Amino acid sequence: MAQETDIREAVRRRYAEAATRFAARSAGGCCSPVPTTEDESGSFGAGLYADEADEVPRAAVEASLGCGVPTAVADLHPGEVVLDLGSGAGADVLIAARRVSPGGRAIGLDMTAEMLELARKNAAEAGVDNVEFVEGYLEDIPLPDGCVDVVLSNCVINLAADKHVVLREAARALRPGGRFAVSDIIAYPGMDEATRADMAKWTGCLAGALTEAEYRAALAEAGFTDIEVIETNRFDELAASAIIRARKPA
């Protein structure tokens, strides 16, 4: 429990600092251990968004710390309810909100007060009113059972201390037949213990990543089926970004 608390606080502190920098319109970091990785590899952040960037305020996209664009692979439809785990500055929530309109809504969940403040500001600027940003933990989603159609996340689940609990919570929140569509980091087999124990590399989206086999097993354990893992961009000799999709049985 102490280790989980330490990881959570380290992650919260890193991304609170990032939100503060973005809010001040200054240069932020990225979701990699090395602050310049986003620019050098194109693996993280705003550069991953194409036409999606036109749907939301520029500030929301520029503050993205993700490793993909989950809304591009979630097959969203009007009327659906979408939950984004670790919603950050809100880019993916705002994109989702536009795509599920009319009749649908998008919910962003984040534990970082500074990110939530930034996301609400971006939503107000965008004039999007079918969104809600909620403070809470991925391991204890503050929503009732079976209340959303789609769960999104963008390079955040790897940051959790216990991914199995997060995936079980995602399954609980989904309606029967609901979809799981996230961008995340997968580790290659053989990541050394020194890397796994490095807190800076954990908060940088590397040390806490599951392997593809571990991710598939955790999703199956949580009750998901139709599991799909597609590697999208190798950014390190130890890991790559991936699209991960699954479905809760109907």
How big is the chain, counted in residues? 250
Tokens of 130: 């079918």
* Number of domains observed in the structure of the chain: 1
Q: What is the CATH number of the domain that holds 184?
A: 3.40.50.150
- Per residue in 77-88, pLDDT (tens digit) is 999 999 999 999
The average confidence (pLDDT) of the chain is 87
Instruction: Give pLDDT, residue 54.
Output: 67
Rounded Cα distance, 224 and 217, in Å: 10
pTM of the model: 0.88
- Per residue in 176-222, pLDDT (tens digit) is 999 999 999 999 998 999 999 899 889 888 999 999 999 999 999 99
Domain, as residue range, for 134: 2-247
Residue 151's nearest CA partner among 218, 98, 80 is 80
Alpha carbon separation from 239 to 46, 73, 197, 200 (Å, rounded): 20, 21, 16, 15
